[in-house]
Amino acid sequence: MSTDTAAAAIPRPPARTASTPVLTGAEAVVRSLDLLGVTDVFGLPGGAIMPVYDPLMDDESVRHILVRHEQGAGHAAEGFAAASGRVGVAIATSGPGATNLVTAIADAYMDSVPIVCITGQVFSTLMGTDAFQEADIVGITMPITKHSFLVKRAEDIPGAIAAAFEIASTGRPGPVLVDITKDAQQAEAPFVWPPRIDLPGYRPVTKAHGKQIQAAAQLIAESKKPVLYVGGGVVRARAAEELRTLAESTGAPVVTTLMARGAFPDSHTQHLGMPGMHGTVPAVLALQESDLIVALGARFDDRVTGKASQFAPHAKVVHVDIDPAEISKIRTADVPIVGDLKDVLVDLDAAFRAVTGGTAPDISEWWSFLDGLRDEFPLGYTPTTDGLLAPQHVIQRIGELTGPEGIYAAGVGQHQMWAAQFIKYERPNAWLNSGGAGTMGYAVPAAMGAKVAEPDRVVWAIDGDGCFQMTNQELATCAINNIPIKVAIINNSSLGMVRQWQTLFFDGRHSNTDLNTGHGTVRIPDFVKLAEAYGCLALRVEKAEDVDAAIKTALETNDRPVVIDFVVSADAMVWPMVPQGVSNSYVQYARDHSPAFAEQED
């Protein structure tokens, strides 16, 4: 939804008093960020936002990090938010500056990441005239924001920014846009803090209905084959401990989606891994063969369900989500529960204990089946035959040498799936990726934002050679601003996931997927030279015996960013794999290899 604050959606502040400071709208933007506790923002100035950049230069509380592209600012804000749980902030000018944020805004919307984007707009008197660098960014982003504000008056700025932070961080988190005209930035008005915030219709439900909690507890107690289907909502709700308590009370198996990796420790005996298209066989079949799915902050995404009409045909569903729009959207819930997961999990655990008298039901037969799958189908990979590195080995060693306290941001594609599979995640907020939108170019700027938010943690960007070429300019931002991230380029010289699908579903016709970045004598670009030009330490690894030494060098280097070009096999594939559009019963029971098969669509 959008709001024109000139229409008084945000009430006017109280009357000016002798102690009320008078600030320009631009000064009000900066002062509001100060008072909201913002410490870091990512942005790039331009004509329509220039008034804000003048007082920002003198502000000692807010650190502005000058990016090289506004998309980088948006993804950095996402990485900052995803790693820390705090609201990330991006700033851009009007027109192309604002539209360059759109991909990151859409990404944040799909993955429920709390960010606030502040954009400049042309003078209000010029709006609608096709003025220089004019774009209706409120209209453009309306479908991909929780809320959009258009601010035309200086006195409305504090209220709009305060409301933006409130909306972004409450209920289901997400992106909020504040578009401010240049005349509003230049005009003066009394600055009143805190402003009155009135958001009619915005009332997130946090407390679930007791009868629904009781009904869910009863279903869990009666179930013979339950599974806890954990989505990214558990991470956003900061409910990992509450999840663990419920899991151990019930004894039920746990699967964590791509967005939920780390919400439940990989080392826990009840964890079956990641479900979905590239999930583990035990996780996929636990959902498919269950008689009860307890969905926690998950949305039954098509990459998890496969053919939705054939997904878990014998299972009843308890669906818990903060967003009522997700309940029964894809799979009808037998027990719908709307509420904050942190509170719901506590209430559900208490109700389950009351129903069972503190003794979990016997589901040993279910566990016998699942443990058999774990023994029969452990996660593994096929050694390469072309003399090049196995990408799975590289990523696994990054995780093992860095450890669970690190942060791992991945781009999109094969390397993303391998990073989700072969790094062991023991805590929430350690795994950052673009799940819903699948945005190439996410990793480097997101890692940058994560390192700003969590400077004492090791932060890796695990990227593909395709993804890396979309946003690698932010390495300059990292080098100049002393943000020493580590970048592992899993360089198979191709658009790997597209190539894999072409191999399987298009008779091996690799149309326009060769990038010429890593194999042979010609490297365009040469990633080592490129990284060095950006002020990074740059290494290239082509032999398995050199992998550990390169990773250790990166871990020991903290005075600049490090980029490692790992030259890996283009023939490596992501397994297991459930083809798109088929039932999850059609699992590729393959650990080390799998034959090609025809994709089956509806």
Q: How far is residue 302's CA from residue 321's CA, in Å, rounded to a whole number? A: 17
- Structure confidence at residue 375 (pLDDT): 94
pLDDT value of position 18: 53
- Residue 600, pLDDT > 80, answer no
Per-residue pLDDT, 17:
55
For residue 296, give the DSSP letter.
E
Q: Does residue 132 have an active-site annotation?
A: yes
Q: How many whole angstroms separate alpha carbon 77 and alpha carbon 87?
A: 8
Among the listed residues 259, 417, 497, 573, the single catalytic one is 497
DSSP assigned state of 12: P
- Find out whether 527 and 540 touch, Cβ atoms under 8 Å: yes
pLDDT at 11: 41
Q: Is the pLDDT of residue 5 over 50?
A: no
Rounded to whole angstroms, how far apart are CA atoms 96 and 101?
Answer: 9
The verdict on whether 506 is a catalytic residue reads: no
**Cα 419 to Cα 370: distance, rounded to the nearest angstrom:** 24
Per-residue pLDDT, 245: 98
Cα 219 to chain centroid distance, Å, stands at 32
497 a catalytic residue: yes
Q: How many CB atoms lie within 10 A of CB 530?
A: 18
Give the position of tokens 């080592």.
528
Report d(CA 156, CA 439) in Å as an integer. Answer: 34
- Burial class of 47 by CB neighbour count within 10 A (0 to 12, 13 to 18, 19+): middle
CA distance 32 to 197: 14
**For residue 591, is pLDDT > 50?**
no
In eight-state DSSP terms, residue 6 is G
Q: How far apart are CA 195 and CA 124, in angstroms?
A: 23
| pLDDT at site 521 | 72
State pLDDT tens for residues 320-336: 999 999 999 999 999 99
How many residues are present in the chain? 602
The pLDDT confidence band at residue 496, using thresholds 50, 70 and 90, is confident
Q: Tell me the one-letter amino acid at 360.
A: A
> Considering 182, 225, 451, 486, which one is annotated as catalytic?
182
- Which tokens sit at 98? 């604002």
Q: How confident is the model over 122-179, as pLDDT tens digits? A: 999 999 999 999 999 999 999 999 999 999 999 999 999 999 999 999 999 999 999 9
Confidence of residue 593 (pLDDT cuts 50, 70, 90): very low
**For range 99-104, the mean pLDDT:** 98
What's the rounded mean pLDDT across residues 376-380? 91
The answer to whether the bond into 383 is cis (omega within 30° of 0) is: no
The predicted pLDDT at position 599 comes to: 36
- pLDDT tens sequence across 38-55: 999 999 999 999 999 999
pTM: 0.93
Q: Is the pLDDT of residue 529 over 90?
A: yes
- Tokens 């590729």 -> residue: 588
pLDDT exceeds cutoff 60 at 463: yes
Instruction: Kindly state the DSSP code that residue 509 receives in the 8-state scheme.
Output: -
* Amino acid making up residue 111: D
Residue 183: both structure tokens together:
């005349």
Q: Quick check: is 182 catalytic?
A: yes
Q: Compute how many other C-beta atoms are within 10 angstroms of the C-beta atom of residue 140.
A: 17
Given the residues 123, 127, 133, 218, select the one marked as catalytic.
133
Round the average pLDDT of the chain to a whole number and report it.
93
Q: Grade residue 2 by pLDDT with cuts at 50, 70 and 90.
A: very low
CB 123 within 8 A of CB 180: no
Q: Is 307 a catalytic residue?
A: no
Instruction: Give residue-wise pLDDT tens across range 264-301.
Output: 999 999 999 999 989 999 999 999 999 999 999 999 99
Render the burial of 448-464: b for 16+ CB within 10 Å, e for the rest. bbbbbbbeeebbbbbbb
* pLDDT at site 164: 98
